[in-house]
Amino acid sequence: MKKYEKVRREDYEAWYRENRGYRERVRADENRLAYHLMPETGWLNDPNGLCQFQGLYHIYYQYTPFEPTGEIKLWGHYTTRDFIHYKQEEPALFPDQDMDAHGVYSGSAYVEGNTIHYFYTGNVKLFDRDDYDYIMSGRVSNTIHFTSQDGYHFSAKELVLNHKDYPADMSCHIRDPKVFKKGEFYYMVLGARDARSRGTVLVYRSMDLIKWEYFNRITGKEPFGYMWECPDLFCLDDQLCLICCPQGVKAMGTEYQNVHQCTVFCLDYDFGENTFRLKSELPAMVDRGFDFYAPQTFQDEKGRHILIGWMGIPDADYTNPTVQAGWQHALTMPRQLHMREGRLLQQPLEEMEEIRRDRRDYDFAKLEKGVETGLVFEACISLQACRDMRLTLRDDVTLSYENGLLTLDMGTCGSGRTRRSVSLEQLTGLRVFSDTTSLEIFVNDGREVFTTRVYGTHPGMRIEGNCSGSGTVYELNGFIYE
Ligand code: FRU
């Protein structure tokens, strides 16, 4: 498959028939994940089009089956009814039209009645001149709509917005539509870089999901990075929030340490007057780890706000040894969101309790002696009067709390990942999800989360420190694929 050539469904099917050996190679990799969605072969990035439709959850994602560095973007597709049993479906979307020839980029789903409406970005790079900088010139970002009555069969793609519809002071970087409804109107947010290289979110409004008019742009008073990717505007526990991924932000102490950020603003928006107010000038970080980006939320039929993120990040200087086995990246566990006192809370979806087995309970003295586990386990630890502590997880990965700072140190297992910290007034609880090559650590009931890939092979866990507490450890089963 060539990078700047269209890929049709037939091209993919022919390639799939010829690449059984590639699939077997990835299937045999000892680093593959047990309970995280990963690509069958090749590369995965952002979750797309998340929705629950007639009971079934659809999880689409940015997908390059052909190789592990992510050159040509399709939409892959998983389905599940319970977040434990999954089916890998045929890819849903291909870059097969002039308007999306160089990648069917990220987008979302909006369910109304018996129809799923999808919106995504058709990426087109121009090659007719040699003086394009691909920021202010040489790139076309088309906002495209299509529908489905079942999540598998799709209507023709239809262009709803392109550069003549975007404000004149924008660069060519506009993408990742997400739609929500408020009152009688639909609103679409799009991530953008303006002509002065300031990150911003464009807001469009529609009565019918087809004709969209420019409504407003959301950004801070001061510039915060040059591009805001993957915006998601939604109301959570009566608080409007904007999650987006700013690029080009400088680190400030423990904050914004990754190459690109994933952040959340709380805001007030008067849609009648079309005025908004960000509740803070600087946004909070959604996750503190090395591998978290481009999450998407949706509300399921139970009314839960569920977030799934990309357990990876673009342009990082650390690596994933899985590339040698022909694959890279995964999605995070699904997390249920809440807003408490202006803070985002993330907790693993309760369905994740279904993969638990072999429960063992420990008091602190036993935790200090060390606990035997496999690599695939969950540990729930509650701590009282914790002045300082040090949790060692496989090999020499440590999470330590000292002088009000909680620090994840990847030791020799990070493949280039080093240290990340957060200030915490107190440490009361940790919920650690360890998979073969990933960690998701939920701190203080999900007030902070560290998501990271990890490449150590010596299982086991130990806590020491000035505190008391107790812990429960479960071995975990893997997801089941139909
Ligand atoms: C975020 C992102 C999106 C884009 C997609 C392309 O990771 O850069 O902005 O739509 O990935 O794969």
Q: Report how far apart, in Å, the C-alpha atoms of 195 and of each of 102, 137, 168, 200, 475 are.
A: 23, 11, 9, 11, 51
Pocket test for ligand 1, best of 46, 48, 100 (most atoms within 8 A of CB): 46
Please state, as a whole number, how many other Cβ atoms lie within 10 Å of the Cβ of residue 183. Answer: 8
Indicate if ligand 1 lies below 6 Å from the C-beta of 73: yes
CA 394 to centroid of ligand 1, rounded, Å: 32
Are 455 and 414 in contact by the 8 Å Cβ rule? The answer is: yes
Place of tokens 């409007």: 240
> Ligand 1 pocket, 292 CB below 6 A?
no
State the pLDDT at residue 2.
85
Ligand 1 site, residue 106, Cβ cutoff 6 A: yes
DSSP string, 38-79: --SSEEEEEEEEEEEETTEEEEEEEEETT-TT--S-EEEEEE
Run of H or E including 196: none
Rounded to whole angstroms, what are the CA distances from 167 to 186, 228, 231?
Answer: 19, 16, 17
Joined tokens for residue 235: 């109301």
Q: Flag residues of the chain having pLDDT under 70.
A: none
Ligand 1 atom 12: residue of nearest CA: 105
Residues in the chain: 482
pLDDT given at position 1 = 84
The pLDDT value recorded for residue 3 is: 85
- Return the closest-CA partner of residue 336 out of 179, 432, 476, 446: 446
What is residue 167's three-state secondary structure? coil
Q: What is the distance in A from the centroid of ligand 1 to the CA of 360? A: 41
Amino acid occupying residue 34: A
CA terminus-to-terminus distance, the chain: 28
Question: Which one is catalytic: 29, 46, 82, 287?
Answer: 46
245 CA to middle of ligand 1, Å?
Answer: 10
Supply the DSSP string of 372-436, one letter for each residue: ---SSEEEEEEEEEEEEEEEEETTTEEEEEETTEEEEE-GGGSTT--EEEEE-S---EEEEEEET
Instruction: Answer yes or no: is the C-beta of 105 below 6 A from any ligand 1 atom.
Output: yes
Count of alpha carbons within 13 Å of 283, Cβ hemisphere only?
30
Q: Is-contact 314 45, C-beta < 8 A?
A: yes
Buried b (16+ CB within 10 A) or exposed e, 138-170: bbbbbbbbbbbeebeeeeebeebbbeeebeeeb
**Active site annotation includes 317:** no
Residues 6 or more apart whose CB falls under 8 angstroms from that of 73 comprise 45, 62, 63, 64, 95, 103, 104, 105, 123
In 3D space, the residue among 426, 382, 417, 419 whose CA is nearest the CA of residue 398 turns out to be: 419
- What CA–CA distance (Å, rounded) separates 424 from 402? 10
The 10s digit of each residue's pLDDT in 71-89 is: 999 999 999 999 999 999 9
Residue nearest to atom 9 of ligand 1 (CA): 229
Q: Is the CB of 45 under 6 A from ligand 1?
A: yes
Distance from residue 354's CA to the centre of ligand 1 (Å)? 32
Confirm or reject: Cβ of 46 under 6 Å from ligand 1: yes
Q: Which atom, in ligand 1's list, is nearest to the CA of 121?
A: 10
Query: Contact, 434 vs 274, CB < 8 A?
Result: no
Separation of CA 199 and ligand 1 centre (Å): 15
Tens-digit pLDDT profile for residues 335-381: 999 999 999 999 999 999 999 999 999 999 999 999 999 999 999 99
Tell me the pTM.
0.98
